[in-house]
């Protein structure tokens, strides 16, 4: 479903360039959940945004990317934009504060000239556990978890094949995180969706994904199955350190951490 080969992303020009992603290659099969993990600044969100076509005006993007057999050009096709949808990290910032939920959900349907828009909006809300009464509320009138459910509903409106998830639960309370993750897993089963999930939280990745790639300083340093992750079968010191950090605060372990530089 997704094939990325030799992806490079460079921001800036001349002496002010920053090489954010270096020679990243990965493949995601249809119906698979693929995780990209790493600490902040490792390049994982940049990979997601490059795939979505959100960096063309702000960065130099090179390499080849293919989605469902379509080789991606700098200008994404209408078919791509319907097939691939994205759920952003911050449900507070990704929804227009002056638009009702109805307007927010209707807009992508109108852009893609879909029929029965009102029915689609109601159905999308119901699929994420919200009823039709939410249609005419504003984002500030609902909770953070409900906002993120609206973001997921917006992604479903166009009947996509692929959903790109950029830290979809990091802005939520722990109890709400579990609800949203279980929702995403149910929707994947029901719709046969392919996910690419970006997260710094290994527990989230282990809960949702089948396979993951570990990123460090813009590069993929290791690809492994979630089963290998759960059994701590990592060959790379950086991944082992991430696993140790995910277990909770341990002063002696932190004192032994290695500083990984470029």
Q: What is the mean pLDDT of the chain?
A: 90
- Of residues 230 and 259, more confidence is placed in 230
- Of residues 25 and 204, more confidence is placed in 25
Six token digits for residue 103: 């307007």
- Cα separation, 136 vs 240, in Å, equals 48
**Under 8 Å CB-to-CB from 139, ≥6 apart: which residues?**
91, 92, 95, 96, 97, 99, 101, 104, 147, 150
Per-residue pLDDT at 172: 83
Per-residue pLDDT at 213: 95
Task: Give the CATH number of domain 2-255.
Answer: 3.40.50.300
Nearest to 83 by CA among 163, 29, 166: 163
Per-residue pLDDT at 138: 96
Q: Is the pLDDT of residue 262 over 60?
A: no
For the chain, the structural domain boundaries read 2-255
Q: Is the pLDDT of residue 75 over 90?
A: no
Q: How confident is the model at residue 229 (pLDDT cuts 50, 70, 90)?
A: confident
- What percent of the chain has pLDDT above 70? 94
- Find the distance separating the first CA and the last CA of the chain, reported in whole Å: 31
Residue 256: CB atoms within 10 A of its CB come to: 10
Per-residue pLDDT at 132: 92
Per-residue pLDDT at 258: 60
Q: How confident is the model at residue 240 (pLDDT cuts 50, 70, 90)?
A: confident
- Cα separation, 102 vs 256, in Å, equals 52
As beta bridge partners, residue 196 has: 34, 164
């Amino acid at each position: 479903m997704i094939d990325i080969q030799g992806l490079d992303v460079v921001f800036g020009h001349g002496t002010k360039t920053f090489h954010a992603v270096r020679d990243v290659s990965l493949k995601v099969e249809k119906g698979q959940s693929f995780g990209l993990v790493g600490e902040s600044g490792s390049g994982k969100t940049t990979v997601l945004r490059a795939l979505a076509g959100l960096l063309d005006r702000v960065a130099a993007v090179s390499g080849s990317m293919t989605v469902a057999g379509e080789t991606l050009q700098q200008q994404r096709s209408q078919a791509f934009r319907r097939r691939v949808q994205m759920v952003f990290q911050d449900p507070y910032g990704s929804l227009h504060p002056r638009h009702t939920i109805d307007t927010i959900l209707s807009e992508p349907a109108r852009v893609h000239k879909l029929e029965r828009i009102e029915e689609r909006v109601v159905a999308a809300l119901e699929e994420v556990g919200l009823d039709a009464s939410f249609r005419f509320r504003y984002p500030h009138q609902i909770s953070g978890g409900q906002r993120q459910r609206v973001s997921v509903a917006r992604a479903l409106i166009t009947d996509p094949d692929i959903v790109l998830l950029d830290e979809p639960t990091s802005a939520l309370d722990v109890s709400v995180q579990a609800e949203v993750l279980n929702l995403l897993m149910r929707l994947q089963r029901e719709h046969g969706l392919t996910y690419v999930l970006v997260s710094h939280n290994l527990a989230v990745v282990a809960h949702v994904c089948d396979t993951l790639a570990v990123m460090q300083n813009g590069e993929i340093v290791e690809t492994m199955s979630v089963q290998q992750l759960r059994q701590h079968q990592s060959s790379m010191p950086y991944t082992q350190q991430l696993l140790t950090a995910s277990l909770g605060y341990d002063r002696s372990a932190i004192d032994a951490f290695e500083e990984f530089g470029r």
